[in-house]
Structure 1
Amino acid sequence: SKECNEFNNSNYDGNGIIYKRDQYWNKTTSIPSQASVLLMSGTLDPTTPIKYAESLLKSLKGTKKELIKFDFATHSTIFSTQMIPGSLDTCGMRVLASYVRNGGDLQSLNKSCVNKLSAFNLTVPDGILSKYFGTKDAYDGAFNLSFIFRINRGTVLYSSEHTHFTVRIHCHRFPCFIGFSRDYCAFYSKFPCAVL
C-alpha cells in the first residue's frame, strides 16, 4: 500500500519464514479416546473470526468436542465475556474452570452463564470517555482538557511556565504523542490530526 511503501518493508531481501511440510501437513486430527476438545469463540472476534473455530470443530475427528459461541464477545473469551460490565468475573473463565474441574467431561460442563451474559451495549464507560476522549459524552460532548489532566496525570507532561504541553497516548497499539500549542495540534505519528 501507499502508506506502507514509505517504510520500504516490501523490498526486504531476506527469505520468508517457510517451513518444510511434515507428515502432519493438511491432515485432520483425531481426538484421542481419553481426551476432549473445548473451543470457545466470540462472534465479534476480528482477530480469530468464529468461522475458523467452526471449521476446526467440523474437521476434528471424534465426538467429544464442543464449540461455545459467545454472542457479542471479542477476542480472548476468557476476558471478554464479563458477567457484569467492568467485572473480572467472566463467563469464559467459568466455563473453562468447569471443564477443568470435571476432567474434560463435556457432558458435565456448566455453561449456564452463556445465557446470562449482558446484552450488547455500545455505551462507552465514563472512565474511558474521560481518559481517552476528554469528554463525558462520546456523541455530543465538548472536549474538556481537565479530564485528561486528572485521569492521565502520569502521562501528561505540563508546565504552567510554558505555552504548550504534550499528552502521551497509545493509538491503536502504537505509541504516539499529541503536542498542543495555543492554536494548533501537531500529531507526531502517521495519523491525521484534529485541531482541539
Structure 2
Amino acid sequence: EFMYLGHAGGVKLPNLFMPKLMNNHGNFVGSLGNVARYLGRKAEELGVEIYPGFPASEVLVEDGKVVGIATGDMGISRDGEPNANFTRGMELRAKYTIFGEGARGSLTKQMVERFGLNEGRDHQKYGIGIKELWQVKPEHFQPGLVRHSMGWPLPNNSGGGSWLYHFDDNLVSVGFVVHLNYKNPTLSPFDEFQRFKTHP
C-alpha cells in the first residue's frame, strides 16, 4: 500500500500509478540481517572464506582492472605507530570484486572517480533513514503487509516518507526517510520521525 498522509488522516493511492520499483506483490518480506546470516552459511558451505572485522582499506588495480582489495593494518596505536598487537594487512585477490559499502563508501568513491563511473549519469539522491523494530500484538499484525507513505509530517518542500513492513514473529519494521536537500535548517529528521509515529 502507498499512502499520502495529511495531519489527521491519509489517502491510499492506487497501485496502478506507482512506479514498477514499488510493485512488490508476491515478494517475501524479511530481515536483511537474517538473510545475510543465511547467505553467509551457504557461502561457507560452498567454500567461500569470510573475514569479519577486517575492513578493506585499499583497492588493488593492475593493468587498469580491479583485482582485489587489501585489508588495513591492525594493532596501530593512537599515535599511528605499530604496537605489540600489530598485524600487517593482507591482500585478497579475486576474479570479481564487489563493493557493498553503501552510497558513499570510501573505496567506492575512489573507483567512481578513477573509472569515471558517474559520467553521463544523474547525481545520486541522499537521505537519512531512521528505523525501529516493533513487536506488535497479534491482532495488529498483518503478515506480508508493506505500507509506504509520503506527506505529513514533512513540509511540502522536503522530500521523504515512511515504511511499515510486517514480517516474521509479529514484527514490524517502522522507518522514516528525509531527503538531505531540505530547505529548513532547523528541521530535525529524528523529531519528524517522532511526530510521524503519532499519526493515527
- Which interval holds the TM-score relative to the shorter structure? under 0.3
TM-score normalised per structure 1:
0.24
Structure in which a larger fraction of residues adopt strand: 2
Decide which structure has the larger Cα Rg and report it.
1
